[in-house]
Amino acid sequence: MAIDKIGVVGAGTMGNGIAQALAVAGCDVVMMDVGEAQLKRGLDTISASLDRLIKKEKMSAEQKATAMAHISTAGAVAGLAECDLVIEAATENVDLKLRIFADLDKTLKPEAILASNTSSISITRLAAATQRPGQVIGMHFFNPVPLMALVELINGLQTSAGTYAAVEELAKSIGKTPIKVKNSPGFVVNRMLCPMINEAVFALGEGLATAAEIDEAMKLGCNHPIGPLALCDLIGLDVELAVMQVLYEGTKDPKYRPAPLLVEMLEAGYLGRKSGKGFFEYPAK
């Protein structure tokens, strides 16, 4: 099927990044969130991101205006009714995602495809919350979405070949490189990445080195462009914990147990960049 109009549920970091990538590629996008403040913040973030591209001479002011014109907003699921594809990019909470998928299923036209940007939750389980399980797929982008080339495309047990082909074609058309991934806790990248970050938190909690030293060690010793603790701050400590919990519960393997310090930092409200404090501090601009 042709995918001409795309909905994005969530105007946060991942949602607005996905909306930007689609709009820059010429897709018509409806970005939906439950509050006007969230939508305004999402649009402002996209505008500022495009301004940085203009400053770097990678985009013209006219191209920015064209991209922004491709984005409209909605404050409820009803505003997505005419979309051919909707990408859910809400908080990594399975009950919330199940509710969203059930609501979308009731609202969208019968042929529409439902995708989730989940970083760890079972696509098979999300598909089962709908009356169109064959049209449900995982479409996992990486942060920052406009810059990162990879998209994991995850087939649930029910996902049809036609659904996969349509979403794969879309991913390629917006300049992304899709890889086909089997439905499994954490998929491919987070199955490897999040335990590494978790182990860095264990090392910090055990006092092996400071946060800055741990990150410097991984940058200099393993040639990583960013240290694991700074990366965790960028991803969000809440997202890291959610992925570790899914891995642990899905495999029952103790190697995936979340680091106690990670749990305690969430209890303190330290979420990383989005809260201004995580393993490092981020003063308000």
Q: What is the pLDDT of residues 180-207, one digit of tens each?
A: 999 999 999 999 999 999 999 999 999 9
Tell me the pLDDT band of 120, cut-offs 50, 70 and 90: confident
Active-site positions read 119, 140, 152, 190
CB 117 within 8 A of CB 14: yes
Tell me: the pLDDT tens digits for 38-90?
999 999 999 999 999 999 999 999 999 999 999 999 999 999 999 999 999 99
More confident position, 212 or 2: 212
Distance CA 146, CA 20 (A): 7
Q: What's residue 285's pLDDT?
A: 66
Which range has the worst mean pLDDT, 108-117, 237-246, 255-264?
A: 237-246
The helix or strand, by DSSP H or E, that contains position 73, with its residue range, turns out to be: strand 71-74
Render pLDDT for 82-98 as a digit per residue (tens, 0 to 9).
999 999 999 889 999 99
- Which residue from 84, 89, 103 is spatially nearest to 163, judged by alpha carbons? 84
